[in-house]
Amino acid sequence: MRNILPDDEKESIASQYYQRLVVAIEKAFNDYKDVVSLKGGNIQHLDFKARTICSMVHDFIRARIAEEFSDDSSVKYGESGGIFFLIIQNKILIRFKKMTKKLAISHIDTRQAVKFKWQEKLTAFPDDLTLFYAGYIPDKAWMGLVNVPLVCRRGETVLWQKDMRQEFKQFSIFGDSAKDGGSQADIQPKKTGRARPRKDNSDDKTGTND
């Protein structure tokens, strides 16, 4: 059976990487917008389908993750079994996906995708890795990101999740406050820990299975 890290260990490990994950994902989304702006303005009636956009963003994420983490010995990234992955401290394995606001994963239900979602055995990855999704939630116009979540789930149940962008902003605020002489008693950080498990039966299957 695959190992699932306790919530406090999920947080302590993942929080060290929130900023760089957000930077890589936001840069990738902006790369996509740059391509659409450059090419789309010269072609009448061009309408990128959702699957095309997701594939494009995913390819940019691959490049930006490599750019961001190439010199970090605590991280491994690459592709195995058709999955582009990021492994953190040999404890957490992340794949990257578009999500809905309800944190549903955009993918086609291949056997591999279902196994990943259910934290089941995958030939390409050892069982001591807990499986996560790093996602991006675009607005309706695909011009900005509503959220950049990190999610651990088993099937339709969300076991743990964080809005990495919001968490990083709070860390920055706390750090600035401490530098300015603010006392920790005056700063109440956002409560972390176990997310209330919830059922999610609204998977959006318009995206890509990359």
Provide the residue ranges of all domains of the chain, joining segments of one domain with +. 7-179
Q: What values do phi and psi take at 10, rounded to 5?
A: -55, -50
Neighbours of 34 (CB within 10 A): 11
Average pLDDT per consecutive 10 residues, the chain (210 residues; last block may be shorter) = 93 96 97 82 72 92 97 96 94 96 86 93 94 96 94 96 87 50 39 44 50
What's residue 40's pLDDT?
57
Question: What CATH fold (topology level) applies to the domain 7-179?
Answer: ECO RV Endonuclease; Chain A (3.40.600)
Q: Across the chain, where does the E strand assignment appear?
A: 75-80, 83-88, 92-98, 130-138, 145-147, 149-154, 157-163
pLDDT for res 6: 97
* pLDDT at residue 134 in the model: 97
Indicate the burial class of 98 (C-beta count within 10 angstroms; 0-12, 13-18, 19 or more).
buried
Q: Please give the pLDDT value at position 172.
A: 54
